[in-house]
């Protein structure tokens, strides 16, 4: 008996062939569309940046957190590479390339932050919200105890939502904040779309899915990540918007 | 869905639009030998007989490498660098 395992060589072909995977992807995308609608109805300020006016402090703090989230997630997502390689070297190759493309994306947001009056020192002196730390912790839990599928699910959720929602948000922010002020975010949006990041992540997911249960698990992960991201939106809303309203009442 | 007709094996494979041609490894005969899958080894060089415009455009790095392999004409591609947009006919290179 050969004791050497977890080499990613057990399956010659993925559970889902390319045509079956395309059908499952349509099902997942429809599932995400429902999640997005629910998100818009239940999460405070979820479409704030699509409006005519932007709350400046909220915008700055959101950009700070976005930079932190990218910085924390790139560490967690890099740790996923060996776990994915144990299941599927094909998926690990796609995922590694995706990580290479994503690795320095925080810079685009930091450049916009500086244009809005927040320095790099301000960013470094601002601690991430608890919800963001919990998100990073959830990644560690998933990799240690449930496998890499959850990590890939998070990226699919983010990339799908970005490609679907960012263009409308970017167009609105060009008017509310000015095109030059959000140049980094425009570049980021171009990258996600032009490099087909949703397609790239889905291709890695296809190689990782090993049975019907994994498809059900994928949906569960998408719901769980939406819950955690909603925690962040409630946290920043309470910290920036509600606290200012309470201070006004007190005065 | 786009079709790929592969010569000389005379095999017809259907893949979803935007699939990378590396998915051909899952067809019954796996007619193309893929190596590194990042466009660096040349193992998956193919000749596109019909439908070259139905593949994603080759970047300069791919063109330079194909030229160094002796395949300077635009009908040659590295299959691992191709996304499928429509029907194509290809010939494998031994």
Residue with tokens 């300077």: B72
CA distance A194 to chain B (A): 12
Residue A251: pLDDT band (50, 70, 90) is low
Regions of chain B with pLDDT less than 50: none
Distance CA(A228)–CA(A80), nearest Å, equals 19
Q: Minimal Cα distance from B18: which residue of A?
A: A199
Give this complex's ipTM. 0.87
Residue A243: pLDDT band (50, 70, 90) is confident
User: Could you tell me which residues come within 8 angstroms of residue A231 by beta carbon, excluding any fewer than 6 positions away?
Assistant: A131, A134
Pick from B18, B26, B38: which is nearest to A199 by CB? B18
How many residue pairs from chains A and B have C-beta atoms closer than 8 A? 22
Find the mean pLDDT for residues A18-42.
96
Partners of residue B16 in chain A, C-beta under 8 Å: 18-19, 21-22
Find the mean pLDDT for residues A96-118.
95
Q: Minimal Cα distance from A207: which residue of B?
A: B23
Residue A218 backbone dihedrals phi, psi, to 5 degrees: -60, -45
SS3 category, B75: coil
Residue with tokens 């007190």: A250
Q: Check B37 against A21: CB less than 8 A apart.
A: no
Partners of residue A13 in chain B, C-beta under 8 Å: 26
Strand order of the β-sheet with B76-78 is B11-14, B3-7, B88-92, B45-50, B76-78
- Res A119 pLDDT > 60: yes
Any A CB within 8 A of B70 CB: no
Q: What is the pLDDT of residues A165-184, one digit of tens each?
A: 999 999 999 999 999 999 99
Burial class of residue A49 in the structure, from the number of CB atoms within 10 Å of its CB (0-12 exposed, 13-18 middle, 19+ buried): buried
Any A CB within 8 A of B26 CB: yes
- Res A250 pLDDT > 80: no
Q: Check A18 against B26: CB less than 8 A apart.
A: yes
| Predicted TM-score (pTM) of this structure | 0.92
């Amino acid at each position: 008996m050969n004791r050497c395992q977890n080499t990613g060589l057990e399956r010659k072909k993925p559970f889902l062939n390319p045509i079956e995977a395309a059908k499952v992807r349509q099902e997942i995308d429809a599932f995400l569309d429902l999640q997005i609608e629910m998100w818009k109805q239940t999460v405070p300020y979820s479409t704030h940046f699509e409006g005519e006016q932007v709350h400046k402090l909220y915008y700055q703090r959101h950009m700070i957190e976005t930079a932190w989230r990218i910085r924390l997630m790139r560490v967690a997502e890099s740790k996923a590479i060996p776990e994915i390689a144990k299941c599927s070297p094909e998926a690990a190759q796609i995922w590694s390339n995706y990580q290479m493309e994503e690795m320095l994306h925080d810079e685009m947001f930091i450049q916009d932050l500086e244009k809005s009056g927040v320095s790099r020192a301000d960013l470094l002196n601002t601690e991430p919200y608890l919800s963001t730390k919990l998100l990073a912790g959830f990644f560690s839990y998933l990799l240690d105890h449930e496998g890499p599928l959850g990590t890939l699910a998070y990226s699919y959720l983010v990339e799908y939502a970005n490609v679907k929602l960012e263009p409308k948000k970017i167009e609105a922010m060009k008017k509310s904040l000015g095109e030059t002020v959000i140049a980094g975010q425009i570049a980021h949006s171009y990258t996600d779309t032009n490099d087909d990041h949703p397609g790239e992540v889905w291709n890695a997911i296809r190689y990782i899915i090993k049975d019907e249960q994994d498809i059900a698990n994928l949906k569960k992960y998408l719901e769980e990540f939406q819950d955690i991201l909603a925690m962040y939106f409630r946290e920043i809303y309470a910290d920036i918007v509600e606290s200012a309203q309470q201070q006004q009442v007190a005065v | 869905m786009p079709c790929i007709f592969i010569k000389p094996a005379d095999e017809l494979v259907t893949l979803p639009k935007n699939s990378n041609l590396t998915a051909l490894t899952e067809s019954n005969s796996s007619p193309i030998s893929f190596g590194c899958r990042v466009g660096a080894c040349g193992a998956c060089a193919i000749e596109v007989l019909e439908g070259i415009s139905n593949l994603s455009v080759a970047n300069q790095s791919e063109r330079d490498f194909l030229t160094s392999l002796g395949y300077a004409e635009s009908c040659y591609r590295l299959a691992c660098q191709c996304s499928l947009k429509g029907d194509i006919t290809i010939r494998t290179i031994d």
